[in-house]
Structures are given as C-alpha cells and as structure tokens.
C-alpha cells in the first residue's frame, strides 16, 4: 500500500528570519537614540491627570453603598446554597421513588395528647 503525501509547492512555504526581541535594531546598525531620556520622577508624577473635585468625597454614602453591596452578595450566596441543598434533597427523594421504595418522603405527625 502506498503512503499518501500531500502535494506541496514551493510557493506555499516561506521561511522568516528570526530576530530576538532584545535587539531593537538590525545587527550591524547602531544609532544613537533620537529622543531625550526623561527622568523617572517625571514619568511617575500623576498630578497632571488629577481633576479638581466640585464636591468633597462623601465617605458615609460610599460606606452605605459598600454595606448594601456586601449584604446583597451574602443574600445571593445564601439563596444559592439553599437552592443547591433543596435540589440535592429533591434528587435524592426522586431517586428513592424511581427505585420503587415506599418510605421515601418523611411525614411528620403531631402526637395526640
């Protein structure tokens, strides 16, 4: 049996030269940098991006929003856990019924006095 090989042409394959990323210039050409190097203190100064505030920061309102967000997250987590437990209990009861058992559901009876 013959092995099948794809038909290839030389036009499909192109070999690219690999240049390391550390080399910014092609080998053999060294040029002086054209732009001046700024000191690090000017680069780290972000005061030019600051905007003057029209109103002072309302700490109380921000903390109330954080408490409300935390309460919502806790409530959502509690509802998710309750839902997962309920679904697991329902699945367990359904599996019991599908196996043909009779005493799958627990019935609580109040004692007569």
Q: What is the DSSP letter of 11?
A: T
Q: Is this structure's pTM higher than 0.85?
A: no
Q: How far apart are CA 71 and CA 65, in angstroms?
A: 10
The 10s digit of each residue's pLDDT in 40-86 is 555 677 777 777 778 778 889 999 999 999 999 999 999 999 999 99
- Other beta carbons within 10 Å of 104: 14
């Amino acid at each position: 049996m013959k092995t099948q090989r794809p038909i290839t042409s030389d036009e499909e394959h192109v070999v690219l030269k690999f240049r390391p990323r550390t080399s910014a210039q092609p080998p053999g050409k060294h040029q002086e940098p054209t732009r001046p190097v700024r000191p690090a203190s000017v680069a780290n100064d972000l005061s030019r991006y600051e905007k003057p505030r029209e109103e002072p920061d309302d700490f109380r309102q921000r903390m109330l929003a954080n408490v409300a967000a935390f309460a919502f997250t806790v409530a959502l987590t509690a509802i998710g856990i309750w839902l997962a437990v309920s679904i697991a209990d329902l699945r367990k009861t359904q599996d019991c019924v599908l196996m043909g058992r009779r005493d799958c559901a627990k019935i609580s009876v109040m004692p007569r006095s």
